Amino acid sequence: MGLIIFAALMRLAPHPWNFTPVAAMALFGGAALRRPLFAFGVPLAALAASDLILNSWLVGNALAPPNPWVYGSFVLIGLLGFGVGNRRGVGTLAAASLGGSFLFFLLTNFGLWISGLLYPRTMAGLAACYTAALPFFANTLAGDLFWNAVLFGGFYAVSRLADGRAQPATRV
C-alpha cells in the first residue's frame, strides 16, 4: 500500500504529459494486494485523493466530478493485474504494462469521442480523436513501463530483503 501511496504522491510532482504512475498503481494493486477491496480500493482512493489536489490547482474546483472512462480503465487494469497474480516475470509484467497502456488509450479516448465535446460522433471523428491522442500515447507507454518497473521492482527488492535472501550492500 505504501508503494501505491508513493506513486499517487509522485503524480503531484512535475512530469511530462501522461508520464504518470496511475496505471502502474492499478496493475500493481491487482497483482500484489490479495483482497479485492484493497486491490481496487487503494489505487482508486490514491487516484481520487491526488485528483482532489490536482483539480484544486488546475481547475480551481477540488470536487470536479471524476471521469468514469478514466476510473473505469483503471479498474480494468486492476483486473489485468489479478490476471498477472504471482506470475511476475519481466515478460509478463511488460506485456501487462503494455496491455494497460492500450486499455487506457482506447477507453479514455473513446469516452472523449462519445461525449461529443471535441469530436463529432462519426467514424471520422473517432479516427480524429485517436489520431490527436497519439503524441500522448508515447509518454503513456514510457510512463507505464517505468512506473511498473519501480513498483514491481521495489516490491521485489523489499521482499528479498525481508526474506533474508539478499543482504543490503556493505562498504568494502
Chunked mean pLDDT (size 10), the chain, 172 residues: 77 88 92 89 86 81 84 96 90 97 97 96 98 96 95 89 62 34
Provide the domain limits for residue 76. 2-11+18-155
DSSP code at position 64: P
| Domain count across the chain | 1
Write down the pLDDT at residue 101: 97
The one-letter amino acid code at 157 reads A
| Helices 90-115, 22-32: inter-axial angle, 10-degree rounding | 130
Render the burial of 99-136: b for 16+ CB within 10 Å, e for the rest. Answer: bbbebbbebbbebbbeeeeebeeeeeebeebbeebeeb
Residue 166 belongs to a domain: no
pTM: 0.86
Residue 43 belongs to a domain: yes
Residue 161 belongs to a domain: no
Backbone phi, psi, residue 39, to 5°: -60, -40
Residue 171 belongs to a domain: no
Residue 110 belongs to a domain: yes
